[in-house]
């Protein structure tokens, strides 16, 4: 990857209900991405990390159709408890298809499609997210090895392909509710998410 495609822009303090974080802005191919950190990192540290793709409906509007908002809250809480960690917040709404297309996918889901097939029906990949910016982001943050909060094996592979070692994995088992059972089943059965 050409690291010049990803640039650090600015940082500031971000007080939250999970304590104070530093918030960093990176730009990659015209798109802004965020990093939240707590604590000081050294190059030998294994950093507790969540790589989280934006979900406005789940993260900001508290939708029960997915488990994204609870996963983000879980990650912030775990980092606060550890006193050190990082969240890479990637602006890739709807597994990379964008907000409008995601709402179209919701409409198809209302008609019986699962999240995998709804994206395909709209002419998209089931998961079109891209992790090319991570090499430069992790390099800027001085992080080369992480304990990753995820259930997604493809995310582990994508991160490791960017030169970051995933030393350990912390399962994320939050946000289950009656409205997202099909969504969670599809994650396990078609996206092969781990328990």
List, for residues 89-135, the tens digit of each pLDDT value.
999 999 999 999 999 999 999 999 999 999 999 999 999 999 999 99
Q: Residue 4 above 80 pLDDT?
A: no
Q: Which residues are catalytic?
A: 127, 129
Supply the pTM of this predicted model: 0.93
What is the predicted pLDDT for the residue at 1?
40
Average pLDDT of the residues in 142-148: 96
How do residues 20-73 score in pLDDT, each as one tens digit?
999 999 999 999 999 999 999 988 899 999 999 999 999 999 999 999 999 999
Which ranges constitute the DSSP H helices of the chain? 68-82, 93-96, 99-110, 115-121, 134-141, 153-160, 181-189
């Amino acid at each position: 990857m050409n690291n010049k495609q990803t640039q650090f822009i600015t940082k500031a303090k971000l007080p939250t209900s999970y304590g104070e974080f530093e918030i960093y802005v990176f730009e990659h191919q015209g798109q802004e991405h965020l990093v939240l950190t707590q604590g000081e990192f050294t190059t030998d540290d294994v950093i507790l990390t969540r790589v989280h793709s934006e979900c406005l409906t789940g993260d900001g509007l508290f939708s029960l159709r997915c488990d994204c908002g609870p996963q983000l809250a879980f990650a912030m809480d775990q980092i606060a408890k550890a006193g050190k960690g990082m969240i890479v917040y990637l602006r890739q709404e709807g597994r990379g298809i964008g907000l409008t297309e995601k709402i179209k996918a919701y409409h198809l889901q209302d008609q019986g499609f699962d999240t995998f097939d709804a994206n395909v029906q709209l002419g998209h990949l089931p998961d079109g997210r891209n992790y090319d910016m991570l090499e430069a982001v992790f390099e800027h943050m001085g992080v080369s090895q992480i304990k990753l909060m995820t259930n997604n094996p493809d995310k582990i592979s994508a991160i490791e392909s960017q030169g970051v070692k995933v030393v350990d994995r912390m399962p994320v088992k939050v946000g289950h509710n009656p409205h997202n059972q099909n969504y969670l089943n599809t994650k396990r059965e078609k996206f092969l998410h781990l328990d």
